[in-house]
Amino acid sequence: MRKSTKSLEEYFWERVNKHGPVPAHRPRLGRCHVWTGGKNPGGYGNLKTQGKTRSAHVVGFELQNGPVPTGMCVLHKCDNRACIRGSHLFLGTYKDNAQDAAAKGRHKNPRMPGELHPLARLTQVQVSAMRAEFREGTSKPSLEMKYKITRRHLNRVLSGERWNEGAGGRARLDAQLQGER
């Protein structure tokens, strides 16, 4: 939590590395200004201000360009989630944000099942083995440790909520598992 003796602007700029990477796909943008403070699990910088957690790139945009209009999002030209450089940020609608993420392969897309999904943590081989091990009596805590996943993720995989591979997916996967033996 930030100390009240410093202004938001002072606090903010103390946590920025202005010598970040140059985006390989857009070198003309120049170096990213990287947030070095706290980050969320998705890699976006965050900070607490007035008792509320806010995205560092949004705060950075506001400090450099003024308030974000209602209904608008702050997007990255550089695709570096920790970047707060004003010239790397731009405004867009929620639809623009979703389309930008999908175009760059970062959007949750039901048409990209299993290990084709950009955020997949497991492979189909691991999922098949995990389900087989569970059926053979391996405990959930053992599987969590072995595959380095949370209980919630494990339960979703075992129930077919995740890695169901489409309609009738669990039955089809189970049939595949039977055929593998």
Q: What CATH number does the domain containing 64 carry?
A: 3.90.75
Please state whether the predicted TM-score (pTM) of the whole model is above 0.75.
Answer: no
| One domain for residues 88 and 125 | no
- 3-state percent breakdown (helix, strand, coil) of the chain, nearest 5: 40, 15, 45
Higher pLDDT, 1 or 141: 141
The band of 94, judged by pLDDT with boundaries at 50, 70 and 90, is: confident
| One domain for residues 130 and 171 | yes
- As a whole number, the mean pLDDT across the chain is 84
Question: What pLDDT, in 10s, does the model give residues 70-86?
Answer: 999 999 999 999 999 99
Higher pLDDT, 181 or 144: 144
> How far is CA 7 from each of CA 3, 12, 89, 120, rounded to the nearest angstrom?
9, 8, 23, 40
pLDDT at 160 over 90: no
- Domain, as residue range, for 176: 114-180
CB 10 within 8 Å of CB 63: no
Nearest-angstrom CA–CA distance, 30 and 163: 40
Residue 1 domain flag: no
What local confidence, expressed as pLDDT, does residue 112 receive?
57
Of 76, 103, 130, the residue at which a domain comes to its end is 103
> How far is CA 83 from each of CA 27, 108, 119, 146, 158, rounded to the nearest angstrom?
14, 22, 20, 34, 37
| One domain for residues 84 and 139 | no
Calculate the CA dihedral of residues 106, 109, 113, 119 and round it to 10 degrees: 20
